[in-house]
Amino acid sequence: MSDKTEVNLTGVKQNKSVWLVKVPKYLSQQWDKATEKGEVGKITIGKKQGKTEVHFSLDEDLTGLDAVGEQDASLRVPRDHPFTMHPVGGQSMAVFSQSDTVTVFVVDEISLEGLVVHRAECRPVVNDNYMKLKKLQIQESMKPQRLSQQLERAVTNVFKPVANHDFNLEYEKKKKSEGKMVRADRQLVLDMLFSAFEKHQYYNIKDLVDITKQPVTYLKEIMREIGTYNSKGAHKSTWELKSEYRHYQSAEDEDTQTS
């Protein structure tokens, strides 16, 4: 961890201006292959019909691709990249760099390189070579990160058999604690309940337990949200759905509308 952080504002004092340019991923990967003081390409700036045109040309030595599968040997990284210019607008943006300076203390020196005066996108010229490159990139991205391998003989020096796995023990413990019934996903229980109430209007809690195979406390918790418990009348000690969840009219609803 750094003991000290300093900000070098020389870039502000020298009134440095910088461009903020977005480049394709493959282009930055090719730049990484250049030597420390090597040339990565050339930028030309000109004017056409009163408009500024900027063009980047990748160095010929950096257009080669690393061997990937059964790729075409003639496939190269595009060289020509015209810039698409964008206004900076009212934004104030700057470029910073960071370097470690080792003296008595380890100092993280942060330098302000300059203020952004132009924004641009570096885009390749779309041709057959570029489309082949994109196809290759898509194929590489679709390759599985992990591969399964069939073993000709069992590996005995790595994996040791156990009498029972932890997740099985946890499942058994949970079953005992909830009367041999494990809570299912809430939406799954709701689907089973709605399906049951499509067949009959009233159910007692024992029948609902048999249908859903769920713990009584869990089932009552759900039924209090979607249902009404009849504590008296002809359907005493049964549950029915609340009116907003019913697709039918109860006798009480029909009597209300008739009156």
Q: What is the overall mean pLDDT for the chain?
A: 79
Stretch 77-100: mean pLDDT: 84
Identify the band that residue 183 occupies on the pLDDT scale cut at 50, 70 and 90. Answer: confident
Q: Is the pLDDT at 69 greater than 50, yes or no?
A: no
Stretch among 38-47, 109-118, 176-185, 238-247 having the lowest mean pLDDT: 176-185
Residue-range domain boundaries for the chain? 7-139, 182-245
Higher local confidence (pLDDT), 231 or 129: 231
Q: What is the pLDDT of residues 114-146, one digit of tens each?
A: 888 888 999 988 888 888 888 887 887 788 878
More confident residue, 102 or 220: 220
| 9 Cβ contact list (under 8 Å, min separation 6) | 112
What tokens appear for 153 in the block?
């003989």
Q: 126 vs 1, 46, 131, 218, CA distance in Å?
A: 46, 21, 7, 61
The answer to whether 82 and 55 are in contact (CB under 8 A) is yes
CA distance 155 to 6: 56
- Number of CB atoms found within 10 A of residue 78's CB: 19
- Evaluate if residue 208 carries a pLDDT over 90: yes
Class of domain 182-245 (CATH, top level): mainly alpha
Distance between start and end Cα atoms, the chain: 81
Give helix 216-226 / helix 205-212 axis angle, nearest 10°.
Answer: 110
Q: Is the pLDDT of residue 214 over 50?
A: yes
pLDDT at position 67, please? Answer: 45
Whether 235 shows a pLDDT value over 80: the answer reads yes
Q: Write down the pLDDT at residue 239.
A: 94
Most confident range (mean pLDDT) of 88-102, 150-164, 166-180, 243-257 is 88-102
pLDDT of residue 203: 95
Share of the chain above pLDDT 70, in %: 76
Q: Rounded to 5 degrees, what angle do the CA atoms 144, 130, 80 make?
A: 135
User: Mean of the pLDDT values across residues 191-215?
Assistant: 91
* pLDDT at position 134: 84
Q: What confidence score (pLDDT) does residue 70 get? A: 46
Residue 219: per-residue pLDDT: 93
| Position with higher pLDDT, 29 vs 257 | 29
Helical pair 186-197 and 205-212, crossing angle rounded to 10 deg: 120
Q: What is the pLDDT of residue 68?
A: 45
What pLDDT sits at residue 155?
66
pLDDT, residue 2, reads 47
